[in-house]
C-alpha cells in the first residue's frame, strides 16, 4: 500500500511541483485503488481557492466526485451549498444503496453538478 491515509495522499499531492510529479502520485495511488482519481479530486474540498487552481493545473483529470470538474476552476461552493449537497448525497446513497446509481460522472461532472443541470 502506497498511501495509507488521505493525509498521506494529500501530502504527496501538495509536494508535487511538476506534471511529472503529479503523474507519479496518480500512478502510485492507482496501485492502491481504482478510485484514486476520485480520491485525489475529493481532496480539493480541503484546499483554498489558490491551492485548488494550482492543484488542477497539476492534476487536470482528477475531479471532485460531488462538485465536478469546474470546482476550483472559477467555481466555488459556499458552505451552505456543501452542507446541502452532503445531506442530499447521503440520502441518495441510503435510498440507492447497492444499486451503483450514485457514482461520479466519468465526463467530469460531479454528482451535484449533474443533478443541478
pLDDT confidence bin for 116, thresholds 50/70/90: very low
- The overall average pLDDT reported for the chain is 78
Instruction: Please write the tens of the pLDDT for every residue from 70-90.
Output: 666 667 778 888 888 888 878
Q: What is the pLDDT of residue 106?
A: 45
Instruction: Report DSSP state, residue 55.
Output: H
Please state, in angstroms and rounded to a whole number, the distance separating the CA atoms of residues 83 and 37.
Answer: 23
Nearest residue to 81 via CA among 64, 68, 67: 67
Question: Which run of H or E residues covers position 7?
Answer: helix 6-14
Domain boundaries, the chain: 6-116
pLDDT confidence bin for 12, thresholds 50/70/90: very high
Residue pair 33/39 in contact (Cβ under 8 Å)? The answer is: yes
Q: What is the pLDDT of residue 45?
A: 74
43-47, 63-67, 94-98: segment of lowest average pLDDT = 94-98
Please state, in angstroms and rounded to a whole number, the distance separating the CA atoms of residues 56 and 63.
Answer: 8
Q: What is the mean pLDDT of residues 40-64?
A: 83
Class of residue 10 by CB neighbours under 10 A (exposed 0-12, middle 13-18, buried 19+): middle
pTM over 0.75: no
Amino acid at each position: 500500500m502506497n498511501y495509507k491515509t488521505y493525509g498521506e495522499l494529500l501530502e504527496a499531492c501538495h509536494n508535487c511541483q511538476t506534471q511529472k510529479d503529479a503523474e507519479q502520485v496518480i500512478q502510485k495511488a492507482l496501485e492502491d485503488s481504482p478510485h484514486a482519481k476520485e480520491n485525489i479530486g475529493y481532496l480539493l474540498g480541503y484546499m483554498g481557492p489558490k491551492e485548488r487552481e494550482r492543484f488542477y493545473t497539476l492534476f487536470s483529470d482528477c475531479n471532485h466526485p460531488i462538485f465536478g470538474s469546474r470546482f476550483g476552476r472559477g467555481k466555488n461552493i459556499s458552505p451552505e451549498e456543501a452542507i446541502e449537497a452532503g445531506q442530499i448525497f447521503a440520502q441518495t446513497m441510503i435510498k440507492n444503496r447497492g444499486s451503483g446509481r450514485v457514482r461520479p460522472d466519468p465526463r467530469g461532472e460531479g454528482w451535484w453538478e449533474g443533478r443541478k443541470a
